[in-house]
Amino acid sequence: MPERREFLLKTFKSLGLAATGGLAWSGFIEEGRSAPLILRPPGALPEKDFLASCIKCGMCVEACPYDALVLAKPGDSKPVGTPYYTPRTNPCYMCRDIPCVPVCPTGSLDKTLVSEKGEDGELRLNINMAKMGIAVIDREICIAYAGIQCDACYRACPLIDKAITVEYTRNVRTGKHTIQAPVVHSDACTGCGLCERACVTRKASIFVLPKEIAMGQSSERYIKGWDEQDEERMKEATEKVTTQTPRSGRKALDYLNDEL
């Protein structure tokens, strides 16, 4: 066989084998990555950036005094080697010095995300700024919503009266009692999960989910005019958004009469 032809064929073979291996490999990674129900330590970058930068050294796990953080093991169905915690068994206790964050060598846990400027202009750690997740309540199972007095989650909340408040409404079923229902506020909730651990139902009826899973996202056109903060968003809107559908180009009368 001519040398050049042999060389080309060998190169093709190597490329082909590399492609085969690469496809299987990326399939495996995609499979593991598509499990987004994972709660990261405080100060974690957005999941995509976190996965790119976390080097899986476990120094945050070592620093955690409550052993709440663990590294995902093969078989946990989570991105392998990355840190997470499980609120029902061992929640984040919101240490004020946040020992897990400064030890991160890659900045996957970013100090600036859990620090605020003090009066002297210096950055100070503040665990209350953490956004690890958000607690959501199953109102059908929560016994407080059924009219039974229980404020386990409310009492357990480190940001009591900010992240969880109790709302009093009339119990229309009995006609003479109060329903004292816990309500989570997304602006204050850090997702620590102390409420989930405290919940008295067999399977917790208040539980922490990653924010991007549990919360919706509004679009530009829905602005609460009565809310000053929300109205700020109007200033950011640069262009007029018009929805184009197959019908929108035609007159209403035309398409309404189509079916006749």
Partner 1 sequence: MRKYKYQIPRRLLQTGILFVFFGGNAYGWSVLRGNLSSARVFDTIPLSDPFAVLQSFSAGAVIASDAVTGALVILLFYAVLGGRVFCSWACPVNMVTDLANRLRRLFSLDSVWKSWDIKRATRYWIIFLSVALSVILGVAAFEWISPIGALHRGIIYGFGFGWTLVLMVFLFDLFAVKNGFCGHICPLGGFYSIIGRFGFLRIGYDREKCTSCMKCIEICPEKQVLHMVGRESGAVVSGECVNCGRCIEVCDDDAVNFINIYSNKIHTKCKEG
Q: Is 88 left (phi over 0), alpha (psi -120 to 50) or beta?
A: alpha
Taking the C-alpha atoms of residue 86 and residue 37, their distance in angstroms, rounded to an integer, is 11
For partner 1, the binding residue among 104, 130, 153, 181 (CB under 8 A) is 104
* Eight-state DSSP code of residue 112: G
Minimum distance from residue 72 beta carbon to partner 1 (Å): 8
How far is it, in rounded angstroms, from Cα 80 to Cα 223? 41
Asked whether position 59 contacts partner 1 by CB under 8 A, the answer is yes
Q: How far apart are CA 73 and CA 82, in angstroms?
A: 8
Q: Which is nearer to partner 1, 76 or 151 (CB)?
A: 76
Which stretch, 16-24, 114-122, 172-180, 220-228, contacts partner 1 (CB under 8 A)? 16-24
Binding pattern to partner 1, positions 107-146, x when CB under 8 A?
x---------------------------------------
Query: Which of 7, 12, 25, 255 touches partner 1 by CB under 8 A?
Result: 25
Size of the site for partner 1 (CB under 8 A): 39
Binding of partner 1 by 26 (CB under 8 A) = yes
Q: Is 18 in the site for partner 1 (CB under 8 A)?
A: yes
Residue among 67 and 231 whose Cβ is closer to partner 1? 67
Cβ nearer to partner 1, comparing 79 with 87 = 79
Judged by CB under 8 A, the residue of 41, 42, 43, 79 near partner 1 is: 79
Would you count residue 158 as binding partner 1 (CB under 8 A)?
A: no
Helix (H) or strand (E) holding 209: strand 206-209
| Sequence-distant (≥ 6) Cβ neighbours of residue 141 within 8 angstroms | 201, 203, 205
237 vs 220: CA distance, rounded Å: 7
Give the number of other CB atoms < 10 A from CB of residue 155.
13
Do residues 8 and 50 touch, judged by C-beta distance below 8 A?
no
Q: What are phi and psi of 179, to 5 degrees?
A: -100, 120
Q: Taking the complex as a whole, how short is the minimal distance between the CB of residue 67 and partner 1, in angstroms?
A: 10
Which of 90, 106, 115, 186 is the binder for partner 1 (CB under 8 A)? Answer: 106
| Contact flag: residue 36 with partner 1 (CB under 8 A) | no
Return d(Cα 191, Cα 91) in angstroms, integer. Answer: 9
Residues 202 and 139: their CA atoms lie apart, in Å, by 15
Among 7, 11, 12, 14, binds partner 1 (CB under 8 A): 14
Residue with tokens 């690890």, as numbered in its chain: 132
Shortest Cβ 18–partner 1 spacing (Å)? 5
Q: How far apart are CA 132 and CA 136, in angstroms?
A: 13
Binding site for partner 1 (CB under 8 A): 14, 17-18, 21-22, 25-26, 28-30, 32-33, 48-49, 51-53, 55-59, 61-62, 70-76, 79-81, 103-107
